[in-house]
Amino acid sequence: MRAIIIKNLDFTLGELPDPEPKGGEVIVRVRAAGLNAADWRQAEGKYPAPPGWPVDTPGLEVSGEVESMADGVTQLAVGDRVMGLIGGGGHAERIAVPANLLTKIPDFMSWEQAAAFPETFSTAWDALVSQAGVKAGDRVLVTGAAGGVGTSASQLAGASGAHVVASVRSTGIHPDVANILTTHSADVITPEQEEAFGPYDIVIDLVGGENTLKRVTWLRPLGRLIMVGGLAPVPASDSFWLGQMMVNRTRIFGTTIRPRSNEEKAILARGVAAAVLPLIRSGQVSVPIDSAFPLASYADAYARLAGRGKVGKILLTMD
Q: What is the CATH number of the domain that holds 169?
A: 3.40.50.720
DSSP class of 157: H
Given a contact cutoff of 8 angstroms between Cβ atoms, the answer to whether 115 and 62 are in contact is yes
What sections of the chain are H helices per DSSP?
37-43, 111-116, 118-125, 148-159, 174-180, 240-247, 262-282, 298-306
Strands 219-227 and 163-167: unpaired
Q: Quote the CA–CA distance of 166 and 191 in Å, as a whole number.
A: 9
pLDDT confidence of residue 129: 94
pLDDT in tens, 132-157: 999 999 999 999 999 999 999 999 99
Domain identity same for 302 and 244? no
pLDDT confidence of residue 242: 59
Q: Quote the CA–CA distance of 33 and 316 in Å, as a whole number.
A: 5
Q: What is the CATH number of the domain that holds 65?
A: 3.90.180.10
Which residues constitute the domain of residue 100?
2-117+259-317
Domain identity same for 46 and 137? no
Residue 150, C-beta contacts closer than 8 angstroms, at least 6 positions apart: 142, 143, 144, 166, 168, 206
Domain identity same for 250 and 124? yes
Domain identity same for 139 and 250? yes
Domain identity same for 39 and 137? no
Query: pTM of this prediction?
Result: 0.89
Domain identity same for 15 and 128? no
What is the amino acid identity at position 165?
A: V
Classified as helix, coil or strand, 15 is strand
Domain identity same for 92 and 175? no
Domain total of the chain = 2
pLDDT in tens, 43-65: 988 888 899 999 999 999 999 99
Beta bridge partners of 25: 98
Q: Quote the CA–CA distance of 308 and 314 in Å, as a whole number.
A: 12
Domain identity same for 269 and 217? no
Residue 87, CB-side half-sphere exposure with 13 Å CA sphere: 20
What is the amino acid identity at position 189?
A: I
Domain identity same for 102 and 185? no
Long-range contacts, 232-240 (Cβ 8 Å, 24+): 232/208, 234/210, 235/210, 238/210, 238/213, 238/214
pLDDT confidence of residue 231: 47
pLDDT confidence of residue 208: 78
Domain identity same for 113 and 16? yes
Closest CA to 311 of 284, 291, 281: 291
pLDDT confidence of residue 19: 95
Domain boundary among 234, 254, 274: 254
Domain identity same for 168 and 195? yes
Domain identity same for 55 and 163? no
**Residues constituting the chain:** 319
What is the mean pLDDT of each successive set of 10 residues along the chain, which is 319 residues long?
A: 93 96 96 94 88 93 97 95 96 97 96 96 94 96 95 96 97 96 95 96 88 86 84 55 66 84 94 95 94 96 91 93
